[in-house]
Structure 1
Amino acid sequence: MRNTIVSLMTAMALTACAGPKENKGQAPQGDFNYVVDQFADLQILRYQVPGFESLSLKQKQLLYHLSQAALMGRDIFFDQNCRYNLPIRRTLETIYTTYKGNREDAQFKALETYLKRVWFSSGIHHHYAEDKFVPGFTPEFFKSCLEQVDVTNLPLREGQTLEQFVAEIFPVIFDPSVLAKRTVQSGDQDLILASANNYYGGGVTEKEVEGFYTAMKAGKDTITPISYGLNSRLVKENGKIVEKVWKVGGLYSAAIEQIVGELQKAVVFAENDTQKAIIEKLIEYYQTGDLKTFDAYSILWVEDTTSDVDFVNGFIETYGDPLGMKASWESTVNFINKEATKRTKIISDNAQWFEDHSPVDKRFKKEKVKGVSAKVITIAMLGGDCYPATPIGINLPNADWIRRDHGSKSVTIENITEAYDKASQGNGFSEEFVWSDVEREALKKYGFITDNLHTDLHECLGHGSGKLLPDTESGALKAYDSTLEEARADLFGLYYLGDPKLVELGLVPDAEAYKAEYYKYIMNGLMTQLVRIEAGKNVEEAHMRNRQLIAQWAYENGKADNVIEYKKRDGKTYVVVNDYEKLRNLFGTLLAEVQRIKSEGDFAAGKKLVEDYGVKVDQILHDEVLARYAKLNLAPYKGFVNPVMKEVKNDNGEVTDIVLDYTEGYTDQMLRYSNDYSFLPSYND
């Protein structure tokens, strides 16, 4: 929600030429090998960490222990996504590593692809489309594999036989109607019961959840409220709804204890007393599960604008919960890119000007923008909900009152955007989908600049702009909150990309630059992002809904002036923007309406906007896009392997350096993580 954005680049910027099977790559000497592996609809890349070697030993050791903490919570995210993810992953890994048959057999290769997809999505549901994977191998083959495995190596429940295990697990894998979608965010159904994720126990209904938290909030502080339900699973025990808190001594304790252990080691290497206090407060939160402590940690974190090394670690984002309350576990570890941060400093220094000149109603503007800090960072490690698929920008904290009273911290992750850009060069996408050489040249000249700048504006100012009216409850938009919040931040960035102020501030080279991002955004929202959806399906994921909502609304509301149109050439459909100035005005008009909906908590209007423009797909156009895209042999989704961070010790066992190794392949990394960072039991009921 007001934080991590999935990459806003189009498929053009995110796709790369089809690579080899799996490439373990080489250390970054000369040309860096970005492409690691490709399978299904996924491509695995690696990213460089420029500047790491120049850091002090103390900073490297801080990064090392924060990075270890970033990997310790991996199992948590798997379990949050579905209660069967851990036993299925471990079963597949056991088969994969012990299989004695023909490993080139089509059935085994299909199982290998399925396992790679489970690793990538942290479970059995597509990381973006939310639908359950369809296995390419048969139940009979899978059963034969299980019968060849030492049963003691399988994740059976206590006293469970192999036949009972098969009876329990096979419908989850092979029956498309069982746990069909990870998160259901709309429709006339019980969103909790319809979702396969593990944020709520079996049999808990949407009505029961809303009733439980309504009662909990009654009479409590509404000025600085805690984030109710953020770090717990809601279950039904003996007919009564209760919370199981994620903390040391609570649910997920075995993994959280490991996270805390690495954070305690990191404290020793903190850059300053402020950073030390931040890490210690996060440890306290993990130990107590107290959400007031989490708020105290968030305030300390957002107010630290001087430390070079920074991190995110915890239960942060609520996209996976249909009601937008419970958070997935995630982590990123990074250090500042000082040169690139000059760009975001200009933006944050002018935050009040942008707020004052926003096209939204004055009632919804902040009279005084507080604590807006922004920087460009270099990622050193990704974990949980940020791995392997990662954001390109982050804005935190999510609590509206903390943002109001203490500000927000925004980052753009430039070594990730650079990896995307380098891996995408010469892939044929532009020639297939971009209307003409005019647009292609603009994208080539301005695309990387304006893409990063849009992310800067989205994170630094968009999420931090505007305010709720005093009587509007945070989360009033329920299942539509994530989509509308991302739309609000995107629109803010889009609107200001075309403002002469950006030329005046030296953020873009000239007044034509913004058109590259406008064209790319509209083309993506109306057409090319459809490659990420299976034929016959509608849009489910919040960021995709946001982009389609904006593009489709602009298309429909600009028809009278022919602002945007679809054109045909050689039987192919293209998107063309005819009037960029009018398109900017449309973005401003929609921004004003989305901000009103947000500020007033107008659920009915928000639902209508999303359902009318953000969900439905033109199936004829969809089929065309899929067919054209398939000929390019590109993968629409990207993810990353992390570098391996290693301690170098002398004969006395003292750490003398931390070095990065870029040679680990995707399968090797995933199997190593499952071996070294797997702390939870298979079933966490």
Structure 2
Amino acid sequence: MKKIMLSVMTAIAFTACTGNKTASPEKAQSFSYEVDKFADLQILRYQVPGFESLTLNQKQLLYHLSLAAIMGRDILFDQNCRYNLAVRRTLEAITENYKGDRSSADYKAMEVYLKRVWFSNGIHHHYGEEKFVPGFSEEFFVSAVKGLDPNAVPVRDGQTVDQFLAELVPVIFDPLVLSKRTVQSGDQDLILASANNYYGGGITQHEVEAFYDKMKDPKDETPISYGLNSRLVKEDGKIVEKVWKVGGLYTQAIEKIVAELQLAVPFAENENQKKVIETLISYYKTGDLKEFDAYAVLWVKDTVSEVDFINGFTETYGDPLGMKASWESTVNFVNKEATKRTIVISNNAQWFEDNSPVDSRFKKKEVKGVSAKVITVAMLGGDCYPATPIGINLPNADWIRKDHGSKSVTIENITEAYDKASQGSGFNEEFVWSDKEREAIKTYGFLTDNLHTDLHECLGHGSGQLLPGVASDALKAYSSTLEETRADLFGLYYIADPKLVELGLVPDAEAYKAEYYKYIMNGLMSQLVRIELGKNVEEAHMRNRQLIAKWAFEQGKADNVIELKKKEGKTYVVVNDYAKLRELFGKLLAEVQRIKSEGDFAAGKQLVEDYAVKVDPELHAEVLKRYAALNLAPYKGFVNPVMKLVKNEKGEVTDVTLDYTEGYTQQMVRYGKEYSFLPTYND
């Protein structure tokens, strides 16, 4: 639970801050950031500055790690829903072979639907979790499938095309079938209510919890991440794990990942990095979670390599119980100049821990191994593609974080792409209360956004400790939201601290107000543009932001800390007392840390359900109407650059180059042909 995803306000806030950037106007004009726009999505490119200056060895290391980052694409599709590969491959077959009118409304709507499936790695919205409503008719789809060569239709063994359609049509068109990818709250069986593929059919939440509870030893101080890399299924009435490994479930894709990792080993920058890659390979081959922990310890200790990567079953946002991990990958190298600020933060980690407003019982007496850097990402894969976080902090295991530390990154070339692509949007003029706040955002916004990400990842996730005997998964379905809440609050509390001025991280004591205003406005209002009218907040990061903003709004009413004011019939957020707002952030941070440290499930559940889920329908409708007039896409994602080997006449690699010209559809079709290794059905 250690990603930070970009908020609507953060994405737009980068717009007005180019005065703080180093990229020249000529460079910005020569590079086209926008690639495509459809539904509620905008597809962008990101640049990889500094790649040309890397050594040939580093470039080849990046090349093989980048191929490994793409090889597991099918895994995430299958994890998100057992029908995703069937839907994707059927629609791709139609677009490649359709003989009818490609200008018809049905065909155009199908193209948009497929683009959305590509973007969300499945048939459910990547943030909202709801199943997409197709804009094309069932009749069109059935006719298009029947018009294909039967060999192009991804039927099950022994299944006819008619039988295939009978199975797949409700998956696409019936709103009651597999309606929500992940359900993480409410008084219902979260496993049975979720459409994801982490658990086999018929398994209940009670059975899952009982299965893993039997495995756990409360006296184990170095517990494995139970269930992290497997699907839980029933076979002959017995519950068993199908492990994701070579020779196990998803082996066809994992073997390809391993092959590229093996090719990367000779180019490792040092012996420790070599051991990191080799241990990851061993874990993929064995599926042994002890081996995964060994890999994580080696990885977190590698703080000297310039090239770095994440590859594997990592984050647990998609599992209703917060146990099983989606497959993801990023490949990157350090941005040395920007990393200077994160070095300052990590070097002062103990001071921040000691001065935190939380109870001393929950503080780490000795902060170990906290490292942070700003990176340039070179390839995105799995659950980091096309939508990507702007910051990551790993490993997730609490005992590793306590004994060995954590490693945090802020992905600045991604925030750079958001910045450049969003210029002149009109968002601030529409939603920000006055010129005073707009000027603060213009002056400080880019700096404080990146700094809040640094604090969130480096210190927020790395802070605090569990009390002895408290299980790391004690908060269950609410763990992701509460962990992101905790990390955000840590960053918010400290971004206003005079210590940051003393350390030279902010220019003055006024800078933090830009971040406070944007955060509260986003949590109370602007992020609502990402939610369909009448729906609740589902995604963990969005819940976290609303929880903080709504709690602060309600708790500060007596002192009029925050107001919702009307001007010309429109609602605006007004922050009247920034100092008291910081006090509220500190108070809530202390409570959320207590909830985590004590494993207080009941209190955590109440906090989330009371503040993070429900939406004011009248305010929601207003925000949607105002945002629609701006003609902006609330969600953004990226295409990857294409890495190419340059060889001489002897076949020797002399360089690796980046090609930025590939389009969104072009890339998705190519990935579907070149990097699709799993069977359509992985039952």
What TM-score bracket applies, with the shorter chain setting the length?
A: over 0.9
Q: 1:243 aligns with which of 241, 244, 256?
A: 241
Q: Which residue of 2 aligns with 1:595?
A: 593
Q: What amino acid sits opposite 2:275 in the alignment?
A: A
Secondary structure of 1:395's match? strand
What is the match of residue 65 of structure 2?
66
Aligned counterparts of 1:149 and 1:16: Cα–Cα separation in 2 = 46
Partner of 1:145: 144
Show the counterpart of 1:194: 193
CA distance in 2, matches of 1:643, 1:323: 35
Structure 2: state its 5+ residue gaps: 17-25
Please give the residue correspondences for 1:58-137 in structure 2 after superposition, counting only pairs within 5 Å.
Answer: 58-137=57-136
**8 Å contact kept, 2:393–2:457:** yes
Amino acid aligned to 2:393: N
54-63 vs 220-229, which deviates more?
220-229
Shift of 1:134: 0.1
Deviation for aligned residue 1:51: 0.1
TM-score (norm 2): 0.98
Give the deviation of 1:30 after TM superposition.
Answer: 5.2
- Aligned partner of 1:331 in structure 2 is 329
Q: Which position in structure 2 is the counterpart of 1:289?
A: 287
Q: Which amino acid in the other structure matches residue 450 of structure 2?
A: N
Describe the superposition over 1:264-288 as per-residue Cα deviations: whole angstroms up to 9, x where unpaired: 0000100011100000000000000
Contact 1:15 1:634 survives alignment (8 Å): no
Q: Structure 1 stretches of 5 or more lacking a match?
A: 18-26
Partner of 2:308: 310
For 1:396-407, what aligned pairs fall within 5 Å after superposition?
A: 396-407=394-405
Aligned-partner residue type, residue 531 of structure 1: V
**Equivalent-residue separation in structure 2 for 1:276 and 1:593 (angstroms):** 42
Q: Secondary structure at 2:464's aligned position in 1?
A: coil
Q: Could you say what secondary structure the match of 1:615 adopts?
A: coil
Q: State the one-letter code of the partner of 2:649.
A: D
The correspondence of residues 376-415 of structure 1 with structure 2, limited to 5 A, is 376-415=374-413
Residue 33 (structure 2) pairs with residue 34 (structure 1) = yes
Counterpart in 2 of 1:231?
229
Which deviations, in whole Å up to 9, do the C-alpha atoms of 1:593-636 show, x marking residues without a partner?
00000000000000000000000100000000011111111000
Alignment-mate amino acid for residue 366 of structure 2: K
Post-superposition CA distance 1:378-423 (Å, at most 9, x none)? 0000000000000000000000000000000000000001111111
Partner Cα distance (1:65, 1:4) in 2:
24
CA contact (8 A) 1:648 1:655 kept: yes
In the other structure, the counterpart of 2:556 is 558
Task: Kindly provide the amino acid, as one letter, of the partner of residue 202 in structure 1.
Answer: G
Alignment of 1:203-222 (within 5 A): 203-217=202-216, 219=217, 222=220
**Given the two structures, how large is their TM-score scaled by the length of structure 1?**
0.97
CA distance in 2 between partners of 1:646 and 1:12 (Å): 31
Whether contact under 8 Å (2:60, 2:264) holds in the other structure is yes
The residue number in structure 2 matching 1:430 is 428
Contact 1:466 1:595 in 2 (8 A): yes
In structure 2, C-alpha distance between the alignment counterparts of 1:571 and 1:15, rounded to whole Å: 27
Q: Distance in 1 between matches of 2:28 and 2:338?
A: 24
**What corresponds to 1:673 in structure 2?**
671
Instruction: Give the aligned partner of residue 507 of structure 1.
Output: 505
Residue in structure 1 matched with residue 21 of structure 2 by the alignment:
none
Query: 1:7 and 2:11 equivalent?
Result: no
State the one-letter code of the partner of 2:675. Answer: Y
Contact 2:11 2:419 in 1 (8 A): no
Structure 1 match to 2:161: 162
Deviates more, 1:372-381 or 1:102-111: 102-111
Structure 1 residues 219-618: aligned runs within 5 Å: 219=217, 222-618=220-616
One-letter code aligned to 1:268: P
Contact 1:14/1:638, CA 8 A, preserved across alignment: no
CA RMSD of aligned residues (A): 1.3
Please give the alpha-carbon distance, in whole angstroms, between the structure 2 residues aligned to 1:14 and 1:258.
Answer: 40
Contact 1:389 1:640 in 2 (8 A): yes
Distance 2:36 2:15 in 1: 11
Relative to structure 1, is the Cα distance of residues 352 and 190 closer, same or farther in structure 2, using a 3 angstrom cutoff? Answer: same
The answer for the alignment partner of 2:47 in structure 1 is: 48
Q: Deviations over 1:433-466 (max 9, x none)?
A: 0111001111011000000000000000000000
C-alpha displacement at 1:102, in angstroms? 2.0
* 1:187-220: CA deviation from partner (whole Å, max 9, x where unpaired): 1110000000000000011011011101122x47
Q: Deviations over 1:146-174 (max 9, x none)?
A: 12111101100011111100100000000
Question: Percent same amino acid at aligned positions?
Answer: 78
Q: Which of 627, 630, 647 lines up with 1:649 in the alignment?
A: 647
Aligned twin of 1:23: none
The 3-state SS of whatever aligns with 2:208 is: helix
Aligned counterpart, 1:22: none
Determine the C-alpha separation between the residues in 2 that align with 1:350 and 1:185. 36
Q: What is the CA deviation profile of residues 114-160 of structure 1, one whole-angstrom value per residue up to 9, with x for unaligned ones? A: 00000000000000000000000000011111121111011000111
Q: Is the 8 A contact 1:378 1:413 kept in 2?
A: yes
Alpha carbons 1:564, 1:576 under 8 Å: kept: yes
Contact 2:14 2:445 (C-alpha < 8 Å) held by counterparts: no
